[in-house]
Homo-oligomer: A and B are copies of this chain.
Amino acid sequence: MKTIRMKRFIDLADFSREQVLDLLRLAQALQDKPQPHALVNKVLGLVFFNPSLRTLASFQAAMARLGGSSFVITPGQGTWQLETQPHAIMKGAAAEHIREGIPALASYCDVLGVRAFADGKSLEGDLNESLFRMIEELCEKPLVNMESAMNHPCQALADWRTLDELQVPMRAKFVLSWAYHPKALPLAVPSATVHMAAMRGMDVVVLRPEGYALPEQVMEKARLAARNSGGSVSETSDRYTALTGASVLYAKEWGTTTYYGDSEADSKLRADLSDWCVREPWFQGTLPDAKLMHCLPVRRNVAVAEEILDGPRAVVKRQAFNRLPVQMAVLHRMLA
- In chain A, positions 71-86 with a C-beta closer than 8 Å to chain B are 71-74, 77-80, 83
Contact of A80 among B53, B83, B87, B316 (CB under 8 A): B53
- Chain B residues with CB under 8 Å of A63's CB are 69
A79 engages B51 (CB within 8 Å): yes
8 contacts between A and B (CB under 8 A): A52-B78, A53-B79, A56-B73, A89-B301, A91-B182, A99-B310, A100-B297, A107-B324
CB proximity of A143 to chain B, nearest CB, Å? 16
CB proximity of A108 to chain B, nearest CB, Å? 4
B78 engages A74 (CB within 8 Å): yes
Taking the complex as formed, is A125 at the interface, i.e. its CB lies under 8 A from any CB of chain B? no
Taking the complex as formed, is A221 at the interface, i.e. its CB lies under 8 A from any CB of chain B? no
CB proximity of A88 to chain B, nearest CB, Å? 6
B96 engages A298 (CB within 8 Å): yes
Interface of chain A, main secondary structure:
mixed
Taking the complex as formed, is A195 at the interface, i.e. its CB lies under 8 A from any CB of chain B? no
Taking the complex as formed, is A105 at the interface, i.e. its CB lies under 8 A from any CB of chain B? yes
- In chain A, positions 293-336 with a C-beta closer than 8 Å to chain B are 296-302, 306, 309-310, 316-317, 320-321, 323-324
- Chain B residues with CB under 8 Å of A69's CB are 60-61, 63-64, 69
A104 engages B41 (CB within 8 Å): no
Taking the complex as formed, is A48 at the interface, i.e. its CB lies under 8 A from any CB of chain B? yes
B105 engages A321 (CB within 8 Å): no
A118 to B234, CA, bound (A): 50
- Chain B residues with CB under 8 Å of A288's CB are none
B321 engages A104 (CB within 8 Å): yes
- Chain B residues with CB under 8 Å of A120's CB are none
A71 engages B60 (CB within 8 Å): yes
Taking the complex as formed, is A34 at the interface, i.e. its CB lies under 8 A from any CB of chain B? yes
